[in-house]
């Protein structure tokens, strides 16, 4: 039996059901593998109580232990200090986890630590791996390298964890290049693509779905957190150049009011709908209804939204960011364009004028599944445990 401790600060909870869904689904897929047992530690960072705001109350009220999609999830708290740029997150997280894992090992002697996000999970996992004498794997997904791996307060911690980990995973080849560029050992970095639920994300009758959502004419969907990095403003500007095209933006975040004001200023408020947070279970219908999914991210790893859209038969328009070229590998998948409104508008117009067949688009996502993702992760972690055992036997 391979006993895996999954450590993830990026994990959904009752207050944030869409947060880290891809981590949860990866972990469920891992737990479904033969001969694998998984426990999840999903730490929650909270500032000291005098500094907590209203948004922290729901997090503070979460139960310490919970069943989530059949996983046994522990949610310890650790202290985060605002204004420090994350400098002390790792130390605080490690201190909080030691007594918990000391107790956990009495009935679950984990063989390996699987850190599913690079910061603060990765450096903390390395410290804990040394304490318990087990190998550590860390997965890089996007902002954990692009932001934390370059930020003044945290870059050294991220690089050191990458060099010390027994195994490293990257969501795409481009992410592997980014990790190597900041000094992580390329030979230990393996590409581990995301998965999707092929039974749920699949083509459907687009006209029927549009009618059910009250949409007439061409529909573009932009999917992602409402933050500047996701570039929803670029897609709004692009749609403003395309008469009759509607835009639905799915996501939550601080940019909501600014994006709504932008649409109003451009005179297209009647064609732009900010949907807010859309439950993950509702995404297949939204994506299958769209003619195009356009996301103008400044940086990405390999976005689940790209692959989920393709699986629904919806081509994508995206910049050359992260693993874009590993997803858009044929014209049926969509277009990779410059990150500006005119390029996005031209690509959207071209796809609307000559749309690829839904089945041809869906075929572009055929290689992505949670079953393959879980099997690859289990094999990777077993290899780390076997290598550690072989090393021990050699003395």
DSSP string of 42-87? --EEE--GGG--HHHHHHHTS-SEEEETTEEEE--EEE--TTSTTT
pLDDT for 58: 84
Question: What percent of the chain has pLDDT above 90?
Answer: 88
Helix axes 21-31, 370-393, angle to 10 degrees: 60
User: Taking residues 126-145, what's their average pLDDT?
Assistant: 95
Give the side-chain half-sphere CA count within 13 A for 313. 17
Query: If you average pLDDT over each of 65-69, 171-175, 225-229, 343-347, which comes out highest?
Result: 343-347
- With bands split at pLDDT 50, 70 and 90, how would you rate the model's confidence at 80? very high
Mean pLDDT of 302-313: 96
| Residue labelled with tokens 């907590």 | 52
CB distance 287 to 293 below 8 Å: yes
User: What is the rounded distance in angstroms from the CA atom of residue 379 to the CA atom of residue 311?
Assistant: 26
Residue 97: burial class (beta carbons within 10 Å; 0-12, 13-18, 19+): buried
The pLDDT value recorded for residue 57 is 84
Q: Longest Cα pair distance anywhere in the chain, in angstroms? A: 72
What confidence score (pLDDT) does residue 15 get? 87
Q: Average of pLDDT values for 321-346?
A: 96
Q: How far apart are CA 40 and CA 147, in angstroms?
A: 25
pLDDT(178) > 80: yes
Answer whether 49's CB lies under 8 Å from 80's CB: no
Strand order in the sheet with 246-250: 272-276, 246-250, 219-223, 292-294, 316-318, 334-336
Residue 322 has pLDDT above 80, yes or no: yes
15: tokens are: 């207050």
Torsion angle (degrees, nearest 10) of CA 84, 87, 92, 98 = 170
**How far apart are the C-alpha atoms of 154 and 156, rounded to whole Å?**
6
The C-alpha atoms of residue 5 and residue 269 are separated, in whole angstroms, by 48
- What's the full length of the chain, in residues? 395
CA distance 340 to 343: 6
**Side-chain half-sphere exposure of 342, counting CA atoms within 13 A:** 0
Token reading at 135: 């190998």
Of 8-22, 131-145, 174-188, the poorest mean pLDDT is in 8-22
Cα–Cα distance, 111 to 113 (Å, whole number): 7
> Which long-range CB contacts under 8 A does 97-104 form with residues at least 24 apart?
97/7, 97/41, 97/43, 97/124, 97/128, 98/128, 98/131, 100/41, 100/74, 100/76, 101/5, 101/41, 101/128, 101/131, 101/132, 104/5, 104/39, 104/41, 104/74
User: Is the separation of the CB atoms in 64 and 75 below 8 Å?
Assistant: yes
Average pLDDT of span 141-166: 94
Residue 52 has pLDDT above 90, yes or no: no
- Tens of pLDDT, residues 40-51: 999 999 998 766
| Domains in the chain with CATH codes | 2-195+370-393 (3.40.50.2000), 206-363 (3.40.50.2000)
Whether residue 327 contacts residue 173, with contact meaning beta carbons closer than 8 Å, is answered with no
- pLDDT on residue 43: 97
pLDDT above 70: residue 364: yes
Q: Band of the pLDDT at 395, cuts 50, 70, 90?
A: low
pLDDT at 376 over 70: yes
* Residue whose tokens read 């929803």: 232
Distance CA 78, CA 96 (A): 6
The whole-number pLDDT of residue 51 equals 65
Q: Are 275 and 165 in contact (CB under 8 A)?
A: no
pLDDT at 368: 94
């Amino acid at each position: 039996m391979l006993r895996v401790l999954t450590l993830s600060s990026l994990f959904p909870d009752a207050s944030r059901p869409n947060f880290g869904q891809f981590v949860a689904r990866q972990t469920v897929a891992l737990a479904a593998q033969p001969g694998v047992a998984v426990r999840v530690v999903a730490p929650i960072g909270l500032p000291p109580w005098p500094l907590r705001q209203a948004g922290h109350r729901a997090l503070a009220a979460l139960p310490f232990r919970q069943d989530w999609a059949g996983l046994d999830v522990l949610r310890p708290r650790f202290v985060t200090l605002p204004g420090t740029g994350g400098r002390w997150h790792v130390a605080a997280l490690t201190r909080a986890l030691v007594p918990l894992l000391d107790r956990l090992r009495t009935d679950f002697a984990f063989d390996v630590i699987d850190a599913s996000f690079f910061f603060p999970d990765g450096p903390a996992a390395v410290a804990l791996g040394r304490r318990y004498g087990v190998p550590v794997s860390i997965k890089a997904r996007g902002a954990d390298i692009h932001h934390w791996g370059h930020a003044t307060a945290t870059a050294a911690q991220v690089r050191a964890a990458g060099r010390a980990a027994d195994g490293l995973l990257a969501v795409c080849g481009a992410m592997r290049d980014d990790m190597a560029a900041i000094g992580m050992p390329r030979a230990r970095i393996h590409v581990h693509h995301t998965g999707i639920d092929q039974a749920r994300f699949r083509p459907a009758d687009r006209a029927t779905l549009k009618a059910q959502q009250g949409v007439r004419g061409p529909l573009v969907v932009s999917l992602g957190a409402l933050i500047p990095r996701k570039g929803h403003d670029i897609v709004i500007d692009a749609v403003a150049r395309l008469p009759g095209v509607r835009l639905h933006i799915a996501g939550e975040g601080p940019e909501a009011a600014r994006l709504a004001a932008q649409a109003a200023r451009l005179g297209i408020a009647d064609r732009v709908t900010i949907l807010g947070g859309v439950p993950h279970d509702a995404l297949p219908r939204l994506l299958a209804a769209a003619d195009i999914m356009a996301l103008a991210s400044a940086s990405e790893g390999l976005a689940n939204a790209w692959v989920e859209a393709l699986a629904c038969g919806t081509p994508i328009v995206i910049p050359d960011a992260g693993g874009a070229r590993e997803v858009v590998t044929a014209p049926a998948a969509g277009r990779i364009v410059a990150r500006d409104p005119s390029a996005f508008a031209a690509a959207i117009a071209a796809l609307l004028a000559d749309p690829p067949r839904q089945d041809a688009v869906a075929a572009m996502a055929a290689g992505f599944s949670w079953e393959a993702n879980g099997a690859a992760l289990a094999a990777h972690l077993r290899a780390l445990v076997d290598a550690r055992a072989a090393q021990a036997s050699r003395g």
